[in-house]
Structure 1
Amino acid sequence: MTIARLEIFARRRQRIAAAPFAEFSIFQVRAGRKRIGNGQRQDEIPAGGFAAVAPGQLLHVENLPPDDGAYRAVCLCLPQAMLTTADLAPADAPPWAALPVQRALEQAFAHVEQGVSEQLPENLLRHRVAELVAAVALAGYRAPMPRDRGLGERIRLLLNTQPAREWRAEAVAAQLALSTATLRRRLAEEATSFRGILEEVRLTHGLALVQGSHKPLKQVAVECGYASPSRFTARFRERFGSLPSELRD
């Protein structure tokens, strides 16, 4: 399991509709401002500030550059397997929180960043993650964590390992020791589908590559399983409300 570190730059205001947060995510805004909301409430995080988002959220995000430069932020996505039951909060806990700037939080965040950069062994990273989660709790936030992963989430984790692969429902069902009919029926009970999960995985991966890498958009499309860049662009805009090029400098 890995901790994803996403570094975001933007010289123009970015708007992303229903951005997915699959894992417990912690942001530090380093220049500009970030707005996070869900239609009912909205928080603005200034430069130097932090925000924490519980796993499984779809939130509207705006990244606002300062007048004299580019927006910059770093996001750390913490796999649930690295968290302990002590980190769990009641299910009615807020889906996200803007956090006050505290020295302990700054140090713990930097500690995990350093560990990811140095590719430390997983057992050492776990200690640093525990330090960061504790610092977030001291800042006033404990995220509601899903205790049981449904079939859709298990499939999502599997597809995430190779977003560009030509996945088929029959092969995934066999890997999970299910019949294809059972897989489709159980996904329907969760109000989703195999095709829907696959596209969500690919587009979420695309969003991370568009924001956090300098890869050409044609290459991004291929790495997300789209042979046609125009098809990727159209689906991306339909899903996130912005063209990939609009999220690039």
Structure 2
Amino acid sequence: MMMYDRTQEALRGELLQRLATLSAPSSSSGTVPHGIDSGLNVFGYCVNAREQFARSRFPHPRVVVVLSGTKEVWRGDVAQRFPCGVPFAIPAGLEIDLVNIPDPQSGRYESICITVDAPLRQSLRATLNRLPDGPSIPGSFSVALSADLVEAYGHAASALADSDAATAQAVARHRIVEILLLLSGTDVGRMLVAVDRTEEVEAIVYADPSYTWRVEDVARILGVGDSTLRRQLKQAGTSFREICLSARMATAGAMLSAPGYSVTQAAQAAGYASRSHFARRVRTAHGMTPGQLRSAA
């Protein structure tokens, strides 16, 4: 169970107030687009009964805020629970189970979602002075609230609700990029800024390096053919195999360099059942055995 301090509780309440203008009528159910005419991929989702989506994967990362009820994000048998007013991100390519749980008093689940598609990522990358450090997907998908982030969400909600204003579309896009810029400095920031095909593949594989990825799996997520994806990666000077190996070795190196993880845990996280095979790969990639990496750390 995730814990939130009193400061975060106050900011959650303020955020929910600022986003109230985007709430759908109580009789609505399903997906409610916001700013669709401006090309913004922002939508609300509301249901009046508990529902579960098994083995979901998304081609682009998403930033979500629950307005009513609770969302559970399950990765295997580990769950993260997000109550209303807590922003969180869902990585691209990660196989997860999603559970939407209505509020027990209102009987309603509702959320606001920003899909961080390629144009938004490009805008974000062009504005950043530097990319966030580290390729790994963080253990927690939640984002700590700040006054600036709440204010940015409030500005975006006002612009999206003001659909009749001549400048509302441009202002809404600007406000959403502002939200993503603030998020780029958090632990979940790196997975929001992958732009080119290589980085898109990296973001998907890095999200779950222990999974036995096939090129057809990733091609399907990205909506391209297998041969097209192989050709695009070759043109970029890499290959699907190299990206998978890099993701696994980066994960192994990070875990072996951090306290609290065993060699076995690092091998499992990197997708290796054989410790000897894992040790050979680590030595080739990092110049040291797994044990030496732990000792150096």
Q: TM-score range by the shorter chain?
A: 0.5 to 0.7
Corresponding position of 1:108: 152
The alignment status of 1:46 with 2:83, answered yes or no, reads yes
Counterpart of 2:141 in 1: which secondary structure? Answer: strand
Q: Is the 8 A contact 1:5 1:113 kept in 2?
A: no
Aligned AA (1:74): I
Distance 2:230 2:186 in 1: 43
Q: Is contact 2:61–2:91 with CA below 8 Å preserved after alignment?
A: yes
Number of the residue aligned with 2:122: 81
Query: Of 90, 101, 122, which residue of structure 2 is paired with 1:64?
Result: 101
For the pair shown, which has the larger CA radius of gyration, 1 or 2? 2
With over 3 angstroms needed to count, the CA separation of the structure-2 counterparts of 1:2 and 1:59, relative to structure 1, is farther
Tell me the secondary structure at the aligned position of residue 135 of structure 2: coil
The answer on 1:143 being equivalent to 2:184 is no
Question: For the Cα contact (< 8 Å) 1:44–1:98, is it kept in 2?
Answer: no
Deviation at 1:154, TM superposition (A): 8.7
Partners of 1:120 and 1:87 in 2: CA distance: 29
1:94 correspondence with 2:135: no
CA RMSD of aligned residues (A): 3.7
Corresponding residue of 2:176 = 129
Change (3 A) 1:88 1:113: farther
CA distance in 2, matches of 1:87, 1:110: 26
Secondary structure in 2 aligned to 1:109?
A: helix
Tell me the TM-score normalised to structure 2 length: 0.46
Q: 2-side partners of 1:21 and 1:148: how far apart? A: 17
Q: Any idea what the Cα deviations from partners look like across 1:57-111, whole Å, max 9, x if unmatched?
A: 3322111001122011110112222321535442113276112343322222233
Q: 1:246 — aligned with what?
A: none
Structure 1 contact 28–48 (Cα < 8 Å) conserved: yes
Q: 1:88-237, aligned counterparts within 5 Å? A: 88-94=132-138, 97-117=141-161, 118=163, 120=168, 124=171, 127-137=174-184, 140-144=187-191, 145-146=193-194, 148-149=196-197, 183=228
Identity of aligned residues (%): 18
Structure 1's 46 and 7: CA in aligned 2 closer, same or farther, altered over 3 A? same
CA contact (8 A) 1:35 1:61 kept: yes
Size of the aligned set, in residue pairs, is 169
- Map 1:14-33 onto structure 2 (within 5 A): 14-33=51-70
Distance 1:36 1:24 in 2: 14
